Structure 1
Amino acid sequence: MKKILLFDSIIDGHHADYLTHLINYWVKNRPEGELIVVTQQSFQEHFDALILNRTNTENIRFVAIPEAEIETVQGASMVTRSFKEWNLALKYMRAHRPTHALLLYFDLFMLGICLGRSAPCSISGIYFRPDFHYKAQPGFKPWLNGIRKKITLFGVLNRSRLANVFCLDYSAVE
């Protein structure tokens, strides 16, 4: 049976909107299997409203990430955060045993995916900021940052468990 885990440790900005669209799609189209939504506790009320009085929602579950885990992950430096985010996602993948996981803010996970432990299931992600294809600011540091991003992306794209990377920036996709 198909079991999809949606993971997002951030719930502000457009993050709640993306989760809402995916949950509404699942409710409307009723695919076989189970949908597990893993995010901050603050999304619980919105989640409950989405499935209230709707049929065929028994295969959709909400799992709250404890606030202490959110604070630990979000309080880290960007390099450390990538590994912490990835390890947190792995924890929920192992606990809920999905057949596939969708990481809603793929950018945060890239270094952790590239250099960290392997996922127990196939994964996909939404890549929001593929800015390496834009003309870089002059100087060594921006150039080096662009090289780092390209190497990391290359490493991530060669991971065996990676199924798809979705990108909302059409000019980055070729």
Structure 2
Amino acid sequence: MTTSSSSSLSLASTSTWVSTTSVSSSGKRIQREMVELNMDPPPDCSAGPKGDNLYHWVATIIGPPGTPYEGGIYFLDITFPSDYPFQPPKVVFRTRVFHCNVDSSGNVSLEIIKDNWSPALTITKVLLAIRSIFTKPDPYNPLVPGIARLYLADKAKHDELASEWTLRFAK
């Protein structure tokens, strides 16, 4: 019985050691980006770890002036993979938003966190890119084709609905 317990303990220690080692390099990168983000935050954006989990952040983006999202407070979850920065973070809107590049589950259609990801990119650049979809939506690569069609066919109606959603869900 002692041998079995000892084997389990040894296996657990080995497993923890491997996990800690792989977390270390990505964790250092995430910590460095957190310091840089706090020292020089992008306009109308903030982000940081949720609790003590360095790999799960909460971000806030304020809707830019002159857009139907103006003044809205948009919350996002950011999850860093264990092999960050070699794989992109997963970004999900937690605030509902009427936007052709954000689906009803909060997933974002943004090339830099998908096919165009590069380890040279940082979470600050990701936040700026997400903020930019409020001023420059991409109706040609939509997650919600109906909203994209409305944007292209009747921008005034699109903006009216986006403003209503901003008032309802983001203020």
TM-score over 0.5 for the pair:
no
Q: TM-score, normalised by structure 1?
A: 0.22
Greater percentage in helix: 1
Query: Which structure has the greater CA radius of gyration?
Result: 2
Q: TM-score, normalised by structure 2?
A: 0.23
